[in-house]
Amino acid sequence: MAQYGQEEVWRVFVDGAARKEGSGVGVVIVSPTGEKIKIAVRLNFRASNNEAEYKSVVIDMKIAREAGATRIILYSDSQLVIQQVKCSYEAREWRLKEYLKVIQELSESFTEWSAE
């Protein structure tokens, strides 16, 4: 089980999808004891795949915070989103920049966090 120092880490899996029929996000959070929180959210706005991925990160971070997590590792299949969250890539689109601001604010809720 992943640990930072003495505190165990919550694993946060994010996934977003955009289709003609609508957009949505999938959320799976795994506690240090193996308990899972699973949520699916249909977005009520037209979103790009990247926006859906970002929305998923925001939702996951909020849920993890509410569940009491202090240390998290975010996992995503979107290299672009992960690299932008890590500040390795610059976000150019204004909507993605707004999501990044929210993620930076949420990150202050955690002792440690990383994205993979």
Query: Which residues make beta-bridge pairs with 36?
Result: 30
Task: Give the model's confidence band at 7: pLDDT under 50 very low, under 70 low, under 90 confident, else very high.
Answer: low
Whether 46 has a pLDDT exceeding 50, the answer reads yes
% of the chain surpassing 70 pLDDT: 93
pLDDT at 4: 47
Average pLDDT for the chain: 83
Helix (H, G, I), strand (E, B) or coil at 70: coil
CATH of the domain at 90: 3.30.420.10
Return the structure tokens found at 67: 């569940």
**Average confidence (pLDDT) over 44-49:** 72
Q: Are 60 and 74 in contact (CB under 8 A)?
A: yes
CA dihedral 63, 68, 74, 78 (to 10 degrees): 10
Q: Write out the residue range of the structural domain in which residue 60 sits.
A: 3-115
Q: What's the structural domain count of the chain?
A: 1
pLDDT at 49: 73
CA dihedral 23, 115, 88, 81 (to 10 degrees): 0
Whether 108 has a pLDDT exceeding 90, the answer reads yes
**Average confidence (pLDDT) over 47-64:** 84
pTM: 0.83
Task: Give the model's confidence band at 2: pLDDT under 50 very low, under 70 low, under 90 confident, else very high.
Answer: very low
